[in-house]
Amino acid sequence: MLIVAGFFLASCAATKTEQGGDSDAASASTTSSSGGEITAGTQEDLIVNVGDRVFFEFDSSELTVDAQATLDAQAAWLMQYPDTNITVEGHADERGTREYNLALGDKRAFSVYSYLAQAGIDTNRMEYVSWGKERPEVIGSDETAYSQNRRGVTLVSN
């Protein structure tokens, strides 16, 4: 069921370029790119025009209202590009044990995955994986970093 290719590092690097210095990635989701050479249906398109990620409260895998709005937009986008497959990554901040955070990351990833499935996205197009606290988006031992790291990220996998 979960067949994840070696996309993670490449996608992660691309994500970083787009997200660099942005203190509120969620609000960036509605903003269009100014420059404009973005190919439709790509990870870059998802990041810039939809929002590739949702954020979670501490020790929670429930989707916030903001998260649901982002996922509604992701679902619409995925409907628009039916040949696009995705992997959803679940992540946690560093303030928990490695094993608990692996479990929490999986619940977060599954929350996103099942929300998109309920929104009509074929589960054959989706995979999910937990990275626990092992792959922070923002390095740092404070709440600013933690709030960015408690996330579910949608990665285009083809």
Is residue 11 a contact point for another protein (CB under 8 A)?
no
Is residue 99 a contact point for another protein (CB under 8 A)?
yes
- The only residue of 42, 68, 119, 135 in contact with another protein, by rule CB under 8 A: 135
Tokens of 5: 């290719």
Shortest distance in whole angstroms from residue 143 CB to another protein: 11
User: Please, which residue, 72 or 137, has the CB nearer to another protein?
Assistant: 137
Is residue 65 a contact point for another protein (CB under 8 A)?
no
- The only residue of 136, 146, 150, 154 in contact with another protein, by rule CB under 8 A: 136
Is residue 100 a contact point for another protein (CB under 8 A)?
yes
Instruction: Please tell me the count of residues contacting another protein according to CB under 8 A.
Output: 39
Find the part of the chain contacting another protein (CB under 8 A) among 25-33, 34-42, 43-51, 101-109: 101-109
